Amino acid sequence: MDLDKLLKLKNLIYLDLSYNGLSLSINNSVNSALTNFDTIGLASCNLSEFPNFLREQVGLRSLDLSNNKIHGEVPKWLFNVGRDSLQNLNISHNFLTSLEHLPWKNLRFIDLHSNLLQGPLPIPSNFTFVFSISNNKVTGEIPTLICNLRWLEVLDLSNNSLSGLIPQCLGNLSLSVLNLGINSFSGTFTSTFTKGNWLRNLNLNGNQIEGQVPRSLLNCEYLEVLDLGKNKINDTFPHWLETLTELQVLVLRFNRFHGQIGTSKTKGKHPFPKLRIIDISCNEFTGLLPTNYIKQFGAMMNVDEHVKFKYMGDTYYQDSVVVVMKGNEIEYSRILTVFSIIDFSRNKFQGEILKSIGRLNSLRGLNLSHNNLKGHIPTSLGNLKNLELLDLSSNKFVGEIPQQLKSLMFLEVLNLSKQPTSRTNSSREPV
């Protein structure tokens, strides 16, 4: 499609050709005299460079050039495009390597994720609501200047090479989402979340964070996703999280958690009333399986499969999680609200599996492998009609395989094997 023909429409102020499978032909040697665009959407239009006609768009408010094939540095002339007016900028999913700074004064929404951006973290304007620069090659520490962004709701810096300490002042922002996963942050996480905060998703997965789980998370009454996996956290099981009534995803895998989980500490209330995904694998938990918790996971029981499928998240950000399913580590970029998993594998749990686990008939995955469990495999597992994965391998079960497992029509992976003696069983071995 020849874009230059559209640029001759002198009264055109709104142009959106995104996601139609178009390949735009642009004559970048010719400047357009059209200067009154308000909105330009050219996402997924097979562009290989920034269109030259943008140079004259001084009053532009929204620009979307995502999902194209634009390479190299962001040109300096782009910094003058809508310098005082631009509110939404999306140049994600390209091959951009450098962005010196973010000079736009009124930027509200900025999405730079999935590029090849290098260098220090650029800081947007103080009026920014959403800032995503995940899946790049950004290095250095988080400047404390970022704590001046008092309107910031979503901050996603995941999958970069950021390091140093996490600024404590981040807990003072009005964040709904704080995703710092897959970086090299170290030290203890000391951010203090005050009462009345709006934090809904906290992801610190894949760093080198030490210490304990901060108790100030008790003030995060809207928290739905807490992912602290793959760090160096040395703590006992944080029972106090059970009072967070909105918590749906809890990932503590591959840390240094230890001790017995025991029973609920909340009297007269159901612990973790909305929890659907819990992964505490690859730690050093001991004692019996936390049956008192398991039998009260109400969100894993009798989910109406006929309800309309929904994904966790909000207008600007959809939640994701990494789980081990069917032998592979899988990232679910969106989490269905009917998706339920229990992974207690690679710990030191003892005792038997009680039949009450059969009440969790909405489970899709159950992994209790690489523990010291014994006794018989309960026949009540046949009640888990939605189960796709059942891994009880490398334990000490005896007796027969229950015939009831034949009724699990969605089961794709069943592992009841014993680990070969030539391989050591270590809870610290990454999966």
pLDDT band at 305 (very low <50, low <70, confident <90, very high): low
Mind listing the pLDDT tens digit for each residue in 115-132?
999 999 999 999 999 999
Q: Is 201 helix (H, G, I), strand (E, B) or coil?
A: strand
pLDDT over 50 (residue 429): no
For β-strands 341-343 and 208-210, DSSP reports them as unpaired
Counted residue by residue, the chain has a size of 431
Distances (CA, A) of 350 to 238, 287, 347: 20, 6, 9
Do 240-252+259-431 and 1-91 fall under one CATH topology?
yes
pTM value is: 0.92
**Average pLDDT of the chain, as a whole number:** 89
Protein fold of 1-91: 3.80.10
* Alpha carbon distance 211, 235 (integer Å): 7
For 225, the enclosing helix (H) or strand (E) is strand 225-227
Query: What one-letter code names the amino acid at 36?
Result: N
- Among candidate residues 106, 144, 110, the one with its CA nearest the CA of residue 126: 106
Please report the DSSP string for 152-195 in residue order.
--EEE--SSEEEEPPPGGGGGS--SEEE--SSEEEEE----PPT
129 within 8 A of 315, measured Cβ to Cβ: no
Q: What is the DSSP letter of 296?
A: T
Structure tokens at 6: 């559209």
Residue 190 phi, psi (nearest 5): -110, 10
Report which secondary-structure segment, H or E, holds 3: helix 3-6
Average pLDDT over residues 346-372: 93
- pLDDT-based confidence at 229, cuts 50/70/90? very high
Q: Which residues pair with 47 in a beta bridge?
A: none
For domain 240-252+259-431, give the CATH number.
3.80.10.10
Domains of the chain by residue range: 1-91, 240-252+259-431
| Cβ proximity of 94 and 78 under 8 Å | no
pLDDT tens track for 3-58: 888 888 888 899 999 999 888 887 765 555 556 899 999 999 999 999 988 988 88
> Up-side HSE of residue 427: CA atoms within 13 Å toward CB?
22
